[in-house]
Structure 1
């Protein structure tokens, strides 16, 4: 946890933060007791001796204010409520629950009110975990998080729900729980819009996981594990193992390691094909760490480079470099796509560039913004964007080069730093 400096004065903050008390069945409600003094303080990872000017009881406030990013995120979404006359918003999409609270369990929900009060819910498996991860909110213990949070609402109120992530059957359960006093309002895009601009914690984590993944690929190449005669899945397994050994919790998506004719398939995955001399090998891979993901693609040539491989590599390299240069604050997303696409078009390979130029990355591997022929909006500082043009010619092969960028007030910051020069291995 990043500690923030203090002035010796902290505004009043509710002290009724929760830890589960052993009462009530897992299928119903569970009562909670407040955390006091050093218990909250140590739970938040701050040494008591490091914070001056406060009593032991005041240290509850210090611990809870030391990291306010989740409260700030809830404030950002609440700012959108007035436009739809919302009193509250129910959030059950787990990625968004994590974004708003820090809770990482597999069953959870949160209801955020326009006065910025909020309540989380999870089932009995996670009561200890949620007390650790969300010390600043009251928690309801129930299996059906969305419906049970709605039953806590005192109407009449207008409550938004995530229309894009709610199935028909789930909506029926929400309606039943809402009763006559709660009006359910379908909401789309509010949280996604807030997630576009990353906070400093998010940017730090994205930088760290990108560096980890870059180091794993460097180690793979230095060890000679990408080699003629090896199978695609063997090399992919070595790369994934190196990411895990360096600290990744998992891969961010299924690794793509496509050699020879397989490189003409943008999402080829991996196979038991043996890598041959002269093959183009495209590696699209990523690591997942502390909720955040990396995404990078590099293409290599094995043994010797054919004229065809050198030509399309050069075109993609030029296109990708131009896209990185164009991805500045204020640029239209559609224009970034056009810059990359025009270079490939002029080289005569336009029909073989079959996907968008890039996407945002964060808690999800693919998230807004999107740089494509239909891309909407402009780039702003602290957004993320991949730039990944490619050429894929069936029966011959393909090349893709991808970087992840952080948009700044100046030139974009490239956080996937592996060399993009044409590399012939062996």
Structure 2
């Protein structure tokens, strides 16, 4: 954790501030290891503080070695101001402009009499974008939970079962295996509902002949996995097989293009051009993928508008799809680690053929 703080201090010099105030839960955890639900991190060139209230001070002392723990009895701005007047010794404070609401920013500004406040965006996120070995190990474990849950849930998907029952089964298995939580509200979209990219599981009953798109993941040690598979309930027709094969080809081409040194938009193009060339370009309206880690959606974005040069250690999803209103849709998604000369697909759930549940 302290190595991450030192890297942040280097960024603070370039940003022209003497201290940085972190309130985002993900960034707070990344820098300190603190898992409580209320608190803030204050970083100066010399000092390091974890501010929290009475409920969490004991926990913070256990979880945050190297940090001075400050119990906040009044307001957080008052506590920051007291530090600035003491051994903190700063007159210009950076804060997370992308995280604070306007009212929170104004309360902080008004409470810091004599201390300037400068909103800054994405400083900690720049550090988080490339994962170290320990982070990738946690993501791999979260992927394992999702893969195993998918395997165990497949026999449960049949006509007469509701989408919500499938989602409940997936979450139950992941939690029983040791996952901290589901990564997000599970998507189970069957039949014509599979044309909804974010068709959260509903009370709809799965029918024979349906395509079922299942998008879910696990959280482990704070880190997320993300997996999508589309399956057929009963023998698929020619159009279902055609759409699936196009999406699979697009996903494989994107994965083949994924490596350190390539721009994110180039990976998106590899998938998008495949789908366009088959006449379905207007039915693929989202990006090809996104970064993930402590948040389910992080940078970089594998989209037409993201020119980020991919680096070793970035973890992204690759998830093209085709969505035909009134008919249904297909999406296939893997969690992938960017490496020199290529990438490593963490997801192991089968995809090379449309899974048929009879």
Q: Under TM normalisation by the shorter chain, which class is it? A: over 0.9
Q: Is the 8 A contact 2:19 2:90 kept in 1?
A: no
Match of 2:151 among 205, 218, 224: 218
How does 1:334-373 map onto structure 2 within 5 Å? 334-373=265-304
TM-score (structure 1 length as normaliser): 0.81
The corresponding residue for 1:7 is: none
Q: Aligned partners of 2:68 and 2:44: how far apart in 1?
A: 13
Q: Distance in 2 between matches of 1:332 and 1:177?
A: 43
RMSD: 1.2
Q: 1:343 to 1:91 in 2, by over 3 A?
A: same
Q: Which residue pairs with 2:105 in the alignment?
A: 171
Aligned to 2:118: 185
Contact 1:158 1:183 in 2 (8 A): yes
The whole-number CA distance in structure 2 between the counterparts of 1:162 and 1:418 is: 38
How far apart are residue 145 of structure 1 and its match?
3.3
Q: For residues 230-289 of structure 1, what are the alpha-carbon distances to aligned partners after superposition, in whole Å with 9 as ceiling and x for unaligned?
A: 111111111111111111121010000000000000001011111111100000001111
Q: Give the match for residue 253 of structure 2.
A: 322
Shift of 1:312: 0.4
Q: Which runs of 4+ in 1 moved over 6 A?
A: none
Residue aligning to 1:208: 141
Unaligned runs of 5+ in 1: 1-69
Give the C-alpha shift of residue 156 in structure 1. Answer: 5.0
Structure 2 gap segments, 5+ residues each: none
* Aligned pairs, number: 353
Query: 1:132 pairs with 44, 58, 62, which one?
Result: 62
Distance in 2, matches of 1:419 and 1:316, equals: 14
Aligned partner of 1:256 in structure 2 is 187
In the TM superposition, what is the alpha-carbon distance from 1:135 to its structure 2 partner? 2.5
1:19: which partner in 2?
none
Which residue of 281, 305, 329 corresponds with 1:374? Answer: 305
In structure 2, how many angstroms separate the alpha carbons of the residues matched to 1:258 and 1:189? 34
Shift of 1:147: 4.4
Matched, 1:157 2:91: yes
Return the match for 1:419 from 346, 350, 358. Answer: 350
SS at the partner of 1:273? coil
Aligned match of 1:228: 159
Q: 1:165 is paired with a residue of what secondary structure?
A: coil
For residues 73 and 146 of structure 1, the distance between their equivalents in structure 2, rounded to whole angstroms, comes to 24
Which residue pairs with 1:404 in the alignment?
Answer: 335
| Match in the other structure for 1:26 | none
- Aligned to 1:382, the other structure's residue is in SS state coil
Partner secondary structure for residue 318 of structure 1: helix
Residues 1:97 and 2:31 are matched in the alignment = no
Look up the SS of the partner of 1:79 in the other structure.
helix
Cα distance in 2 between the residues matched to 1:94 and 1:360? 18
Structure 1 CA distance for aligned equivalents of residues 81 and 190 of structure 2: 52
Query: Which residue does the alignment assign to 1:391?
Result: 322
Bigger mean CA deviation after superposition, 139-148 or 300-309: 139-148
Q: Which has the higher contact order (CA 8 A, sep 6+)?
A: 2
Match of 2:224 among 277, 282, 293: 293
Query: 3-state SS of the aligned residue for 2:84?
Result: coil
Match of 2:241 in 1: 310
1:32 corresponds in structure 2 to: none
Distance in 2, Cα, partners of 1:167 & 1:280? 41
1:146 to partner: Cα distance? 4.8
Whole-angstrom distance in 2 between the partners of 1:349 and 1:416? 26
* Distance (whole Å) between structure 1 residues aligned to residue 81 and residue 247 of structure 2: 52
- Contact 2:288–2:320, Cα closer than 8 Å, also in 1: yes
Residues 108 and 120 of structure 1 are in contact (CA less than 8 Å); yes or no, is this contact kept in structure 2?
yes
Kept after mapping to 2: 8 A contact 1:90/1:146: no
Question: Separation in 2 of the partners of 1:299 and 1:336?
Answer: 22
Shift of 1:149: 2.2
CA–CA separation in structure 1 for the residues paired with 2:80 and 2:30: 18
- Give the whole-Å Cα distance in 1 for the aligned partners of 2:169 and 2:77: 41
TM-score (norm 2): 0.96
Q: Which has the larger radius of gyration?
A: 1
